[in-house]
Chain A
Amino acid sequence: MRPAFSVLFLTTLIGVGQGLLVALVTAQFFLVIGADGAGETGGFYALGSVLALILLGLGLLASFFHLANPGRAWRSAAKWRTSWLSREVILIPAVCGLAFLYALVHWLGWSPVLLVFDNGKALDLPMALGFAAAGASLALFVCTGMIYACVRFVRQWASAWTVVNYLMMGLASGFTLAAAYAALSGSALRDFLTVAALALTLLAMATRLYQVRRNGRVRLKSTLKTAIGSHHPQIRQISQGFMGQSFNTTEFFTPGAAETIRGLTLFFTLAGFVVPAILLAASLGGDYGLLMVAAALCQYAGLLAERWVFFAAGNHVQNLYYQARA
């Protein structure tokens, strides 16, 4: 499949944004249930959440470039019962809205208690909104992942691993960014977030590389035999029926994909996972804010490449019909 830059930016940017949100909420929760006494200012969460909002917004902006008729984008929420795309379209503003509210209440320092638990801990409004935002983000990961995972005709995509990877890479990049943010703002959450980012990065690497391996083995379920209904053992296409270009050749093929994929897979493994992991590990316990910003940027670059590979490696069944220009 041809990687469209709009989609690469959309999925990676909102991935980081969602991850960042989840990281903030997790961190807040960690502070609530964990380390007594230690705390963070509302401003920290508010600013972090605004950062996530910006990323989500940029992602959304990118997505408009993907639509040929963005003016009608509102229509795309119509089919939430059947279309993961609709669901994503509904969830993105939901996540944004929740992130906004989350930031707002933190900013305003407005934290009425909503629930008090038996152990004395209380659920206040910011935390509750945080849970909602994190929940929505996680659901959005599932939607985004499912958009691709449910495309049965691209075997490289059609598996639970697509969802897992969208989730893992979003979280990893979001946590890395959160850790950098915490380090820069001198937050106490720095080490917690760094460790979590490190763990998530390594986990994401594991699941992603597993998918790379798996994709190396998947075979198309269809063959030329079923494509044209001939029982002959040897079938070749001589002509796809046209020698110009068409939507079917531009949208579903990536020129020079094979070599680029090989190179970029190595690149994203290093830039997306290995290097950030080293940088994160190296900055553990110290005040290396810039190093961690570098980790986050490097990881983002790596994940952009990863997304490119994700698309380019997707071999659509329809491609069987478009093999020969003559």
Chain B
Amino acid sequence: MRDPASIPDSELGRTEVKTTTCYMCACRCGIKVHLRDGEVRYIEGNSDHPLNRGVLCAKGASGIMKQYSPARLTRPLKRKDGAERGANQFEAITWDEAFATLAERLGRIRATDPKKFALFTGRDQMQALTGMFAKQFGTPNYAAHGGFCSVNMAAGMIYTIGGSFWEFGGPDLERAKLFVMIGTAEDHHSNPMKRDLGRFKRGGGRFIAVNPVRTGYAAIADEWVPIRPGTDGALLLALIHEIIELGLFDRDFLTRYTNAAELVNQDEASDEFGLFVRDPDVPVRPDTFETPDKLWWDRHGDKATIARVAGTDGRLMGSYILPDGTPVKPSFQLLKERVKDYTPDWAEGITGIPAATIRRLAHEMGVTARDQKIELPIAWTDCWGTEHDKVTGNPVAFHAMRGLAAHSNGFHAIRALAILMTLLGTIDRPGGFRHKAPFPRPIPPCPKPPKGPQAIKAGEPLTGTPLGWPADPDDLSVDANGEAIRLDKGFSWEFPLSVHGLMHNAITNAWRGDPYPIDTMMLFMANMAWNSTMNTSEVRKMLTDKDESGEYKIPFLVVCDAFQSETVAFADLVLPDTSYLERHDVMSILDRPISEFDGPVDSVRVPILPPMGESKPFQDVVIELGTRLKLPGFTRKDGSRKFRDYPDFIVNFETEPGSGIGFLSGWRGKAGEKFLVGEPNPNQWDMYARNNNHYHHEMPRSYQYMRNWNKGYLDWAYRHRLVRYTDPIIPHVYSEVLQKFRLAAEGKWRGKQPPERLRERVRTFFDPLPFYYSPLEWGKSDGTSFPLTALTQRPMAMYHSWDSQNAWLRQIHTSNVLFVHPKVGATANFDDGAWVWVESPWGKIKCQARFTEALEPGTVWTWNAIGKASGAWALDADANESRQGFLLNHLIAEELPDMVAGRPVSNSDPVTGQAAWYDLKVRVTPCQPGEAEESWPQFPPIGPVPGQAIGFKSKVRAFFAGRKA
């Protein structure tokens, strides 16, 4: 046998190592791909990449099996003439035909009514490009996955502190002493989070996990705090209560850097009620978003003065009368009053967490924040000109994700979390929460959605960006009657702050023609006929439903995917995408870059293999389409082609002619001498590739902290066009933005007002201070019939629906079970491993139940998206995924009946439109003897489509790079 130690592997065959960026998930780690004789042999983490520094996750290391998956689509397809949609009958066509079909159809739509074209994109990372395409096309009906994903997390925190978790910021585990993780199973920051957590624990940090389930991260927590799902708002408010009650908040931080001390108008009769009082004599720039004219009550002079004037100190508490007789209170006082009754004992009854534990948690947070202060010898200057000779921090860090977000009360729960973090003084400070460029953003950020039907004009681009951040009711996308102008009803009065849209309602709305019917829907990288839709069985029917004339209610469906997903079967036109190892991609600063705490980082993907078959990067498809449709962004004045292809586009595109701002921030300028802003550089791709596919700009240390109020940083960011203004970004402990919507609901707003039927809803949920209410779905079923809350969790080794085709990963999770507490079995009379029916008010499924003690007994859960439709993903029709695996989504309603004036409304957070996946209530009963031990519902098996490399589908696969064994 070859001696393993003396003949290294690298000396066999023709080997090469190329670097690119992983896309087995959205974390985007740097990878080194080893090829042997042109075939992928080994993928390892790139040690020189800032994100993963050499480590790799289970998915990333299985990239080979994705690349060579038999589910790969390799040819453009059109539905066979005469075949029914959904029957999975396709014929291969040429790209020319595909483009011609699309250009003709879309051209017609654009020339008549551009909103009849809807573009929705799932787990992609090119929203800057797809969003721009939609805008240029002129349709507001564009959204990416954010609405059904975690928009509550983005909106709740960005509307409060100007930044968020997710890709926008995170816990500084290098310096934290106490780390509280809430409702997170895996998250996007997969590898960095694990790396940091490992280091944090080894350094002796204390790690507390708040989660109904103890798996993954929570497993290694020093303390597991099981909580009833959907009740975190109560916990967080009780923590705030206790911290205020005991004086464990960071007073200096609150007064100086937040709006806690600013005075709120308490004159109920006034149209200004609940808004900050302002001094009309203070000059205010018209373009400012953070006006310097607000007042506080000076402790020393015992009178109202302009907030933050040197020598004064605002009071946080009390109730005061201004000289003009207006009663006012500091917003902190209002918070204190708000949480007065939110005691730990109250929260115990809701969350199931003992009051003593809640108190202790509050004490641990407060005392750690106060007594273990960090001081860094870094001088900086704040926005008011005060010079500081050090940066200080309170080492309590938090992280939260969809456990908080995916509930219909998530926005307020997340606001409560952001406020708790603010009370503890941990915003952009060492050991606490840290922003990542381009955050912090103004509260709210500047882009605004289209403000009405006038924004949509035949043959013209959209006015405004399809998605944006409303600052007040006038920013909503509604018509004169206050009704939605978007297909998904985003930015309507039903979900005013739906900053990522509501993709989860797109199909239902289009099917019903509410608010209007559309013509063509294009889905990119979203498995909307399966795991990313609620009410899956019904939605699948809507996709094939016809009107009286025999036309499909959704006339034309285009799916761009790289694999044979469940959704592909429903397409009229299938565009085969490349794999991540075969294309150029950018993780752009205009989108969601991979920035670090210390400065902006963006990165690229470069092809290391040729495209398989006739697959084509969707980016190139977008550019080609934009060119054929002669969209202004993609063509010259004379209508000629502006960009050769995507790489050319990335290099040469500028937000405005001559703006110097493009998709990539590194090596700009003719010779690559500039960053962030500078002329296009023809060699930019090479320069990225040479630098391990990323550009990392490390800012001076004095710009790295306190960025919301850091004069140096804000000036720097302004000069480099990361922000439009240099105003400080003052955390909104009290949200004036929300209050403005409430005022509109109360008829006190001079601009747009909600339709009558929605006034009460808006008034209730647009509370300027966080409050607790039970998830909306719970009001639609009685707790006795449906006593259990059903959740899903991300398995660390699988990515949504797309890894079941992966021969290695699917062996780790080839099917899923419903985890239940043994008590559930004892009550309903079934044993561990029994087959059970799970019913919600909206549907039922059959699956296998397993007992576990690692969960809150009122909760049941399963791994997300393991269940598959029979025959999809190139799996055999009887694969475990379809016969034993199941999808919880069949049980989740996409709309709740009788919500407003007898009409259904999306099953979403009423503020943001976040899909309320985790509000689901169910009951579990055993199957009768004789019932098949097979999951239910089952769907007729589908087979492969033309071009699928079924030759690979041998019964035995012994992959051996460069030589197939």
Contacts and interface: CB of A to CB of B under 8 A. Distances in A.
Chains A and B in contact, CB within 8 Å: yes
Interface of A: 236, 238, 241-244, 324, 326
Interface stretch (B579-587, B688-696, B808-816, B894-902): B808-816
A241 B880 CA distance: 16
Contact of B811 (A238, A244, A324): A244
Contacts of A242: 811-812
Interface in B814-860: 814-815, 817, 819, 850, 852-854
A243 B852 contact: no
Nearest to A244: B811
B850 A326 contact: yes
A243 B880 contact: yes
Nearest to A246: B811
Contacts of A241: 812
Contacts of B880: 243-244
A241 B808 CA distance: 12
Given A238-B852, A243-B880, A326 B810 contact: no
Contacts of B852: 238
Contacts of B815: 243
A326 B884 CA distance: 11
Given A238-B852, A244-B814, 13 more contacts: A238-B850, A238-B854, A241-B812, A242-B811, A243-B812, A243-B813, A243-B814, A243-B815, A244-B811, A244-B880, A324-B850, A326-B817, A326-B819
Contacts of B814: 243-244
15 contacts: A236-B853, A238-B850, A241-B812, A242-B811, A243-B811, A243-B813, A243-B814, A243-B815, A243-B880, A244-B810, A244-B814, A244-B880, A324-B850, A326-B817, A326-B850
A63 B161 CA distance: 73
Interface in B850-887: 850, 852-854, 880
Contacts of B819: 326
A241 B813 CA distance: 9
Contacts of B810: 244
A210 B752 CA distance: 90
B325 to A, nearest CB: 66
Interface in B773-820: 810-815, 817, 819
Nearest to A241: B812
Contacts, number: 21
Contacts of B850: 238, 324, 326
Contacts of A238: 850, 852, 854
Contacts of A326: 817, 819, 850
A236 B853 CA distance: 10
Nearest to B850: A326
Contacts of A244: 810-811, 814, 880
Contacts of A243: 811-815, 880
Q: Which of A241, A242, A326 has the most CB of B within 10 A?
A: A326
Interface residues of B, number: 13
A11 to B, nearest CB: 30
Nearest to B814: A243
A255 to B, nearest CB: 14
A236 B822 CA distance: 13
Contacts of B817: 326
Interface of B: 810-815, 817, 819, 850, 852-854, 880
Nearest to A245: B811
A324 B851 CA distance: 11
Contacts of A324: 850
B953 to A, nearest CB: 16
Nearest to B815: A243
A264 B394 CA distance: 70
A106 B850 CA distance: 67
A324 B854 CA distance: 15
A53 to B, nearest CB: 37
A236 B854 CA distance: 11
A242 B815 CA distance: 10
B959 to A, nearest CB: 16
A319 B810 CA distance: 23
A242 B853 CA distance: 20
Nearest to B810: A244
A47 B464 CA distance: 101
Nearest to A234: B853
B757 to A, nearest CB: 47
A324 B853 CA distance: 15
Q: Which of A236, A242, A243, A324 has the most CB of B within 10 A?
A: A243
Nearest to B884: A243
Contacts of B813: 243
Nearest to A324: B850
B215 to A, nearest CB: 9
A325 to B, nearest CB: 8
A326 B812 CA distance: 9
Nearest to B811: A244
A56 B812 CA distance: 44
| 4 shortest interchain CB distances as A-B pairs | A244-B811, A243-B814, A242-B811, A326-B850
Contacts of B853: 236
A241 B853 CA distance: 18
A244 B812 CA distance: 7
A238 B215 CA distance: 11
A307 B862 CA distance: 42
A38 B814 CA distance: 71
Nearest to B819: A326
Nearest to B885: A243
A312 B819 CA distance: 31
B100 to A, nearest CB: 45
A5 B819 CA distance: 38
B224 to A, nearest CB: 15
A49 B472 CA distance: 102
A61 to B, nearest CB: 26
B409 to A, nearest CB: 31
A326 B215 CA distance: 13
A82 to B, nearest CB: 21
A241 B810 CA distance: 12
Nearest to B853: A236
A288 B854 CA distance: 68
A43 B617 CA distance: 83
Contacts of B811: 242-244
A244 B879 CA distance: 11
B311 to A, nearest CB: 61
A244 B850 CA distance: 17
Contacts of B854: 238
A244 B814 CA distance: 6
Contacts of B812: 241-243
A321 to B, nearest CB: 16
B670 to A, nearest CB: 54
A243 B810 CA distance: 8
A320 to B, nearest CB: 18
B778 to A, nearest CB: 29
A326 B813 CA distance: 8
A165 B406 CA distance: 64
Nearest to A243: B814
A236 B817 CA distance: 17
A244 B817 CA distance: 14
Nearest to B880: A243
A129 B397 CA distance: 85
A68 to B, nearest CB: 14
A242 B812 CA distance: 4
Nearest to B807: A244
A238 to B, nearest CB: 6
Nearest to B215: A238
A262 B811 CA distance: 33
A222 to B, nearest CB: 23
Nearest to A238: B852
Nearest to B862: A326
A300 B775 CA distance: 69
A294 B811 CA distance: 49
Nearest to B881: A243
Contacts of A236: 853
Nearest to B813: A243
A243 B809 CA distance: 10
A64 B687 CA distance: 61
